[in-house]
Structure 1
């Protein structure tokens, strides 16, 4: 069957892709039986050889998606890979886009993936070489299959991948409100029936849902251990699943992994980064399914938004920890304070919660944003360093240690800490951040793990650290007002390379 007009148009607007090697045809609406008799729908894209051409074997890529099989998915995964010499089976997961059964997020991906591979073995065009590729929940479905990998599986590309859905919606004990609402709104408006997922994902207290077992067995990180399948992990510095992608890479055996991290969010990666992501994915899959195999162990990262790309020998790279200390009056210095004093007070009002600006989220404006208006609020502590005299490059995980001064009552609060880059115009651009719960009687020492980054602070720019009581609606607003005294001796530690 010829490709639909909408798919052909969508493929033409994907810029930066290599020239096609083959024309492409499609078998739409294939019905694939699962072990329980439910049938899932799939479209088969394949290189279209002329009748007089010599028969050729092509490897197969499997893309198991809950997002449908139409616009953009058909072009970016079906056509774009098939025209480079692959069979592509683009399958709608259970209960989505016409596939039978009930959609139960995170539940059926392993068994249904194995049933799909069993069906592939019976196809005359399947030659025993299988690769997996896809982003986000597609990557989750592939991790479920990789937990018990079939012998045909020879290569994987995990794009903006997640392996722990509970961890995505509940970070460091804090409910990721915006991400949970966006994800569950998509599920409830597009798919029937997943009430338990909606309740578990949007409940602000994950412990209250643990008893019903919804999240039990949904963390697939162990699948990466001892997995001898060459795997390319792709993420973005503003990807909501960045931490999970780095965990996956870290657990994969050395010699079977590579890493690519660009200046992307979870949703912009396949738009702004489509050409690079496709090129890297294609090279990986072609090398391991067709040959010659590409080098493994490569680590390529974007440094900031404009500095360019860097090849690293290890992740995280060797670094020198640089400690920056907040001082009274809003100063930030490499010099530790000489006396133990209060450097500021974090105040939080549930009737006017501190708003969120940018960052690693699924919100409408994620990623790097100007924080100037946020920093003008009186509930955000701001500490700014002097203009830098030379470039400072930070690659790796950033962490803050906040000393909380004494108080009359035990705390039940949150602390949000953010590192920013202030340019010559005074614009404050977020680099990375983190949040954590604060509980117990003060005084306390609170460690706030911030996300990893690769950023170059230029001469004339200044480092800035924000400390506040939240970031709403990115994270759920607290119900009670609180006051936290931040003491001197608090630090933000940067991995300088």
Structure 2
């Protein structure tokens, strides 16, 4: 059962039954399974529930969890928009000798005010910390903890922490909200759209929100024309996000967004960051870790799995040490206990295909890539029909296909659909489509480790004034299985890291560079690489309408003829 479903079922019904059920379904398994090797230390006292006043007079629902016995205690602070994270945090850590303060953010749950994603989290978070430091039950050693939005609220205050905050542990989170919404100019509706659509629903309603979004919102032209009733709480943000695709737009440069995006540059305490290889937040997390002033005292863990940490059955191995690692990190920074060797500063990364871990002081590390060229373009429309080779390709090759936004290529695997399977068997049905070009390398004669970022360059043109292109790199095993490794997308108007839309002249050949998220992936002896090239991946990304201007206003998308003139794949191999 997924965490979302379990949470919804646990929190439905009467409050007393809800509390008992949620504890049994969410909290107890963490203590019993994730922390099986760590004996509990304390029993929890009764929870104090109160409203804490913010600087503008708005009061936010707050709960205080303390162990039984004589304090004061080291305290963990958790701020949450979802009304259930205390079952995954405070109700756990209080059993290990920590006080824990849980607050529902502005406009969520019983908290007063209006919720707009991320905007109020810095000032409200700092106000809560100021309140905590006035309480007699805290001992002046504070930490922050939580994942996803509950991790982003930590980054919101990270640049202005009082000295009593000794560390924080954000999971699957960074501070750049634009990157939650867009990827190279393409709206990531499989993340941002479905997430905003689910906000404000009952928890049981959240379980069915994904199917409603797919039916009533995803891929509907014009995007601005969907029913506001589909977004009980996220409508205002959804409308703003789909109207502002340019990263340097004034909307994304508001003081609140800039402060959140830049806060990590002012961090003065050690940080333990937990991410997952197929989480959409990972690229920003890698950049954030690299830019931390305290990187030499911090650790980044990159396990297998998606945004929720669920590993795929196709990938042997999982990361189940998250709570044990978090507790050991808190014990060190809040209690002075020795830090386990596994948590020494640096990056711990899971190796897909080998079910092992690697530690590095810096990751990914620069290396000279293996360069493969796209060749035999004319044969690329059956699966594996084109080739990836280190030979120099013949000049003058082209191949074309027709892209229809009303019939996009289905998303299969990858990091860009919320809590979906991230590594999936690709089969041959997608690469047999007429709007997909497919290239294959020769078989590798030994196990080969992909270690870092993969760069793909395509030389393309289109008869549309703007459009998009996609790439997907997979391992094609000797036994016929095909598993996706990485994928990406870019519009032409925001190609190659553009901060705002630039004009494209139809028919003009241009180069589009895709910098795929770094990964450690060990390919098997006898495997080949497959590269699929197309123009859509739905519902991960809203299909490009093949028109210039603001994509979300387009009511009448048109088909486009796409031309591929060549390209390269740069592999990070030793």
TM-score (norm. length: structure 2): 0.79
Deviation of the 1:296 alpha carbon = 4.5
**1:52 paired residue number:** none
Residue of structure 2 aligned with 1:317, choices 325, 348, 365: 365
Structure 2 vs 1, CA of residues 485 and 433 (structure 1 numbering), >3 Å: closer, same or farther?
same
Distance 1:58 1:477 in 2: 52
In the TM superposition, 1:108-119 aligns within 5 A as 108-119=120-131
In the TM superposition, 1:242-281 aligns within 5 A as 242-253=282-293, 254-269=295-310, 275-281=320-326
In the TM superposition, 1:118-157 aligns within 5 A as 118-157=130-169
Task: Output one character per residue of 1:423-460: Cα deviation in whole Å (capped at 9) or x when no partner.
Answer: 22322211111111124232211111212211110102
Deviation of the 1:231 alpha carbon = 0.5
Give 1 or 2: higher helix fraction. 2
Structure 2 vs 1, CA of residues 184 and 90 (structure 1 numbering), >3 Å: closer, same or farther?
same
> Is 1:240 matched up with 2:280?
yes
> Is 1:388 matched up with 2:444?
yes
Structure 2 vs 1, CA of residues 211 and 314 (structure 1 numbering), >3 Å: closer, same or farther?
closer
**2:519 paired residue number:** 453
Distance 2:243 2:485 in 1: 27
Residue of structure 2 aligned with 1:37, choices 40, 57, 74: 57
> Is 1:218 matched up with 2:257?
yes
**1:494 paired residue number:** 571
Structure 2 vs 1, CA of residues 460 and 26 (structure 1 numbering), >3 Å: closer, same or farther?
farther
Which sections of structure 1, spanning at least 5 residues, go unmatched?
Answer: 50-54
Q: Is the 8 A contact 1:62 1:88 kept in 2?
A: yes
Q: Is the 8 A contact 2:408 2:537 kept in 1?
A: yes
Larger CA deviation: 384-393 vs 328-337: 328-337
Q: CA RMSD in A?
A: 2.6
User: Is the partner of 1:24 in helix, strand or coil?
Assistant: coil
> Is 1:12 matched up with 2:12?
no
Deviation of the 1:362 alpha carbon = 3.4
Larger CA deviation: 210-219 vs 426-435: 210-219
Distance 2:356 2:198 in 1: 34
Structure 2 vs 1, CA of residues 4 and 482 (structure 1 numbering), >3 Å: closer, same or farther?
closer
**2:47 paired residue number:** 27
Larger CA deviation: 381-390 vs 478-487: 478-487
**2:375 paired residue number:** 327
Residue of structure 1 aligned with 2:177, choices 143, 165, 172: 165
Distance 2:366 2:404 in 1: 41
Distance 1:209 1:493 in 2: 29
User: Is the partner of 1:180 in helix, strand or coil?
Assistant: helix
Q: Is the 8 A contact 2:34 2:323 kept in 1?
A: no
User: Is the partner of 2:536 in helix, strand or coil?
Assistant: coil
**1:412 paired residue number:** 466
**2:206 paired residue number:** none
TM-score (norm. length: structure 1): 0.90
Task: Output one character per residue of 1:31-78: Cα deviation in whole Å (capped at 9) or x when no partner.
Answer: 2111112211122222223xxxxx354211101011113xxx333201
Distance 2:232 2:74 in 1: 34
Distance 1:477 1:75 in 2: 38
Larger CA deviation: 432-441 vs 328-337: 328-337
> Is 1:371 matched up with 2:448?
no
Deviation of the 1:493 alpha carbon = 0.8
Distance 2:455 2:257 in 1: 28
Distance 2:107 2:355 in 1: 44
